[in-house]
Structure 1
Amino acid sequence: MTSTRPARGALISAAVALVAVLSGCSSDDGGGTAAASSATATSAPSTAPSTDPVGAGCAQLPADALAALATQPVGSALPGVPLLSTLATAVGAANLTSALDAQSGITVFAPVDAAFGAVPADQTNALLADLPRLTSVLQHHVVSGRLSPDQVVGDHTTLLGDTVTVTGSADAPVVSADQTLLGAADATVVCGNVQTANATLYLVDQVLAPQA
């Protein structure tokens, strides 16, 4: 009678070897997956928007003024911006300071003093004296959401309920002349992406006009 012990022993040895090989493969695959996950996590790009101001005119805004702006809501912050004293006066005249301060996450296209200065004095005085019209003009400069430079180009609904269309690029946004109060020149950004506690400002060199 032939003994089966050697064959059985060989089978057991083969099984043990197979288990060892499979265990090694499983370990290798796990390491590869972990390494791939680690590589993916490491190479994932950051999507946090920049909060740095952009534009040649930003040099006219002192660093300490920018730091102070970031701690204040926009209505209260406007008087502290050297280029926006006329806008601050207009907002105060329209009793919109508290309303702007109460907004949560807005973008303001803020005409600089030179933009108001380009409007004939009689037109400016008439605008400041006409409270309903002044309120409409100011609301047309405000849109919902804090727009980064990468988001500012496009069509945006204003607080007045109409639309302001921004063309150009993230580095050089433009509002066409037909959307301005004078209608003579495009509105370009003097300094953009300026942060207050509740708003992002784009300082523009023309006063915008609501749609007729």
Structure 2
Amino acid sequence: MNTRLLTLPVVAALSLTTAYGTSAGATTAATAATGASGAPVAAGVVQAPKPSPASSPVGPGCSSLPQSGPGSVADLGRLRVVTAAAHSPDLSTFYSAVNKAGLVNKLNTTKDITVFAPTNEAFNKLGKRKLNKLLADKNALTKVLTYHVVQGRKTPADLKKGSFTTLEGDKITTRGSGDKIKVNDAHIVCGDLQTRNAALYLIDGVLTPKK
């Protein structure tokens, strides 16, 4: 019997397996190199999240911002908006209110919004009784807080003479420039503070929806 004839199928099968394995390996390597989108990605490189826009703080109260550490411009820029509020000593009541309303996740995960956050002093203007009543009523609190949020990162230039629909559904109006910008009847204390997902403005009054 010719043993050479018997070995030919085996050699052919091994050749096909080797070729197929090489092709599959090349395809897998190409996919890894380009990523799911097909765009080239360097091996071992983890793509960093998109950085926050640069802050250009405006308002008479910006001078009191810490130069570094919690509450500083650099610190706020790396955090999502509610987490950033937790790092600001002037927004502890706002942070507590957002927690009570169950809005932390919504505001922290919504992309590119503007939040006009009342300072502690702004909430204190309501009076203790009225403030406690508001904090105890989740529906009313949610309505008030979402009235302080609009879609899109608004710049001071956008606020010079603007009208914006809030997440609550009613409109707010803005006017002024520099250190004298108003949102409805409240003044901006310090604003255009860029967080990971939002532009943050501290205001000296609690805005009330008309509806």
In the alignment, structure 1 residue 53 sits paired with structure 2 residue 53: no
Residue 151 of structure 1 deviates from its aligned partner by 0.7
Conservation of the 8 A alpha-carbon contact between 2:58 and 2:178: no
Q: How does 1:83-98 map to 2 (within 5 A)?
A: 83-98=90-105
Conservation of the 8 A alpha-carbon contact between 1:175 and 1:188: yes
Match of 2:159 in 1: 152
Conservation of the 8 A alpha-carbon contact between 1:53 and 1:194: yes
In the alignment, structure 1 residue 167 sits paired with structure 2 residue 175: yes
Once the two structures are superposed, residues 22-53 of structure 1 have per-residue CA deviations (whole angstroms, 9 ceiling, x without a partner) of xxxxxxxxxxxxxxxxxxxxxxxxxxx86311
SS in 2 for 1:56: coil
Conservation of the 8 A alpha-carbon contact between 1:151 and 1:170: no
Identity in percent: 46
Residue 107 of structure 1 deviates from its aligned partner by 0.5
SS in 2 for 1:91: helix
Q: Structure 2 CA distance, aligned partners of 1:145 and 1:63?
A: 27
SS in 1 for 2:175: strand
Q: Structure 2 CA distance, aligned partners of 1:173 and 1:125?
A: 29
Amino acid paired to 1:123: K
Amino acid paired to 1:189: I
Residue 167 of structure 1 deviates from its aligned partner by 1.8
Q: How many residues align?
A: 155
Q: How does 1:77-116 map to 2 (within 5 A)?
A: 77-116=84-123
Q: Structure 2 CA distance, aligned partners of 1:50 and 1:78?
A: 18
Residue 159 of structure 1 deviates from its aligned partner by 0.6
Match of 1:139 in 2: 146
Amino acid paired to 2:145: L
Conservation of the 8 A alpha-carbon contact between 2:56 and 2:193: yes
Match of 1:206 in 2: 205
Conservation of the 8 A alpha-carbon contact between 1:78 and 1:85: yes
Amino acid paired to 1:192: G
Q: Structure 2 CA distance, aligned partners of 1:75 and 1:95?
A: 11
Q: Structure 1 CA distance, aligned partners of 2:54 and 2:81?
A: 19
Residue 170 of structure 1 deviates from its aligned partner by 4.8
Q: Structure 2 CA distance, aligned partners of 1:160 and 1:70?
A: 26
Amino acid paired to 1:172: K
Structure (1/2) with the larger helix percentage:
1
In the alignment, structure 1 residue 63 sits paired with structure 2 residue 75: no
| Structure 2: gaps spanning 5 or more residues | 1-52
SS in 2 for 1:107: strand
